[in-house]
Each structure stands twice: as C-alpha cells, then as structure tokens.
Amino acid sequence: MNKGKIAVIAILAVGIAAAAIWTRRDGEAPATEAATGKGVMVAVTLPATLSEAAKMGEKAFNAVCAACHGANAAGTEAGPPLVHEIYEPSHHGDQAFAVAVVNGVRAHHWTFGDMPPQPAMTRADLRNVIAYVREMQRANGID
C-alpha cells in the first residue's frame, strides 16, 4: 500500500473518531440498563410531601407519561428518566416540557427515539405534571 492511501485511511479514521466524540458533546447520555431493556434507569428518592398541584400532576403523569417515563419519572426501556440532571430547569425549562408534550420532540439526548405529541394531556394537567416533575427533581438534588 502506498503512503498516499495510508494517509487517506488515517485521515478518515481520525475524522470518524472526531465525529463520534463531537456528537456526544451535546450532553447525550450513554446507553444504560434501561435503554437495553433492563429495569429502571435511576433510583428516585420520593419527597416527604407533594404540593396539591404536584399531587394532581402525579395522577396525570401516571395516566399519560409513566408508560414510557416510568413510575416516579425514573425512566424505563421505553423512555428516559425525567428525574435526571439533563432535565434540570436551567437546561430544560418548564416551557421545554410543555412544547414536548404539545408538539412532540426529536430525540436529542437519548437513544429511545422521538417522543410523539400527547394530545390527551390538558393544559391544566400539563402545568400540574410539570409541578410534579420539578418537585421530584428537587427531592433528588436537581434544581
């Protein structure tokens, strides 16, 4: 093999490696047990109490969201945990949650695929679900 071909192969290898590293830099989480079909993704500490809004949000979450995001928003093989630092308010504000529920969202941190819109969720339920998720996050040190 001549030096030119070796150089081209080396440059391609470096480019592929750099692209793989660069695509992970936006905060994408690596595959976890839940992403491979085993158990929940995170251990969740339950708050001692929930506000009235969060209690209503928990009911709506369990009816609409828990099938994918798991009990207590701990994640499942079908969807990521919402009690996770990726979803801290400074990175995914309340409006980001609202937009995801209303419009759906393209997968960008996890390998679960895109989230479809959730038309069964009312605006009032959505506000309460956000209150529930935020209270669960705070109970787990995510502010």
* 3-state per-residue secondary structure call for the chain: CCHHHHHHHHHHHHHHHHHHHHHHCCCCCCCCCHHHCCCCCCCCCCCCCCCHHHHHHHHHHHHHHHHHHCHHHCCECCECCCCCHHHCCCCCCHHHHHHHHHHCECCCCCCCCCECCCCCCCHHHHHHHHHHHHHHHHHCCCC
pTM of the shown model: 0.72
Per-residue model confidence as pLDDT tens digits over 55-97: 999 999 999 999 999 999 999 999 999 999 999 999 999 999 9
Instruction: Give domain limits for the chain.
Output: 1-30, 31-139
User: Where is pLDDT greater, at 10 or 64?
Assistant: 64
Rounded-to-integer distance, Cα 108 and Cα 53, Å = 29
Of the candidate ranges 7-16, 31-40, 88-97, the one whose mean pLDDT is the lowest: 31-40
Q: How confident is the model at residue 130 (pLDDT cuts 50, 70, 90)?
A: very high
The top-level CATH class assigned to 31-139 is: mainly alpha
